[in-house]
Amino acid sequence: MAWEIEERYFERREIKAALDFARAGGIAVHRNFDNYAGTRSPRGMRMDRPFLHVIGLRPRLEQWGRGHGLRPEWIQPEKRRGVAHYDVFGEFAQRLIDRLQRREEVRRHFALFLARFESPLYGQLAQGIVADPTILDLAGRAPRGQPPANLLFGAVHYLLLKGLGHPLAAYYPSVNTSVLRGEPYPAFREFCAEHEGRILDLLATRRVQTNDVARSAVLLPGFSVVAARAERPLALVEIGASAGLNLLFDRYSYDYGNGNVCGDPESKVRIECSVRSELVPPLEMPRVAWRLGIDLKPVDIRDTDQALWLRALVWPDQPWRSELLLAAIRLAQANRSEIIQGDALEVLPRAAAIAPVDAALCIFSSYTVYQFSPEQQDRLAAVLEGIAATRDLYRLSFEWHPGEESYLELASFEGGRREDLRLASAHDHGRWLKWLDPARVLPGP
Ligand X SMILES: C[S@@+](CC[C@H](N)C(=O)[O-])C[C@H]1O[C@@H](n2cnc3c(N)ncnc32)[C@H](O)[C@@H]1O
Q: Binder to ligand X among 208, 230, 237, 271 (CB under 6 A)?
A: 208
Residue with smaller CB distance to ligand X, 6 or 343: 343
Q: Binder to ligand X among 30, 60, 102, 207 (CB under 6 A)?
A: 207
Minimum Å distance from CB 385 to ligand X? 17
Q: Does 294 bind ligand X (CB under 6 A)?
A: yes
Q: Binder to ligand X among 297, 350, 401, 422 (CB under 6 A)?
A: 297
Minimum Å distance from CB 366 to ligand X? 4
Question: What is the greatest pairwise CA distance in the chain?
Answer: 85
Element of type H or E holding 290? strand 288-295
Question: In a 10 Å sphere around its CB, with 0-12 CB exposed, 13-18 middle and 19+ buried, how is residue 148 labelled?
Answer: buried
Residue with smaller CB distance to ligand X, 48 or 343: 343
CB contact at 8 A, 61 and 88: no
Minimum Å distance from CB 145 to ligand X? 8
Query: Of the candidates 418, 380, 419, which has an alpha carbon nearest to the alpha carbon of residue 399?
Result: 380
Tell me the residue ranges of DSSP E strands in 46-142: 51-56, 76-80, 83-89
CB contact at 8 A, 135 and 186: no
Q: Does 172 bind ligand X (CB under 6 A)?
A: no
Query: Of the candidates 353, 378, 375, 374, which has an alpha carbon nearest to the alpha carbon of residue 363?
Result: 353
Minimum Å distance from CB 435 to ligand X? 20
Query: Of the candidates 343, 332, 337, which has an alpha carbon nearest to the alpha carbon of residue 294?
Result: 343
Sign, CA torsion 162/166/172/175: positive
Q: Print the binding letters for residues 211-250 with ligand X: x by CB under 6 A, - otherwise.
A: xx--x-----------------------xx-x---x----
Phi, psi angle pair for 249, to nearest 5°:
-55, -30
Residues touching ligand X: how many (CB under 6 A)? 22
Minimum Å distance from CB 247 to ligand X? 9
Minimum Å distance from CB 151 to ligand X? 11
Give CA–CA dist 335/332, Å, rounded.
5
Cα 392 to chain centroid distance, Å, stands at 31
Residue with smaller CB distance to ligand X, 66 or 297: 297
Residue with smaller CB distance to ligand X, 191 or 364: 364
Residue with smaller CB distance to ligand X, 179 or 308: 308
Give CA–CA dist 374/397, Å, rounded.
17
Minimum Å distance from CB 60 to ligand X? 41
Q: Does 314 bind ligand X (CB under 6 A)?
A: no
Q: Work out the angle between the directed axes of helices 148-161 and 196-205 (0-180°, nearest 10).
A: 120
Task: Report 355-384 residues binding ligand X (CB under 6 A).
Answer: 366-368, 371
Give CA–CA dist 98/100, Å, rounded.
6
Q: Print the binding letters for residues 316-355 with ligand X: x by CB under 6 A, - otherwise.
A: ---------------------------xxx----------
- Give me the residues that bind ligand X (CB under 6 A), please: 207-212, 215, 239-240, 242, 246, 294-297, 343-345, 366-368, 371
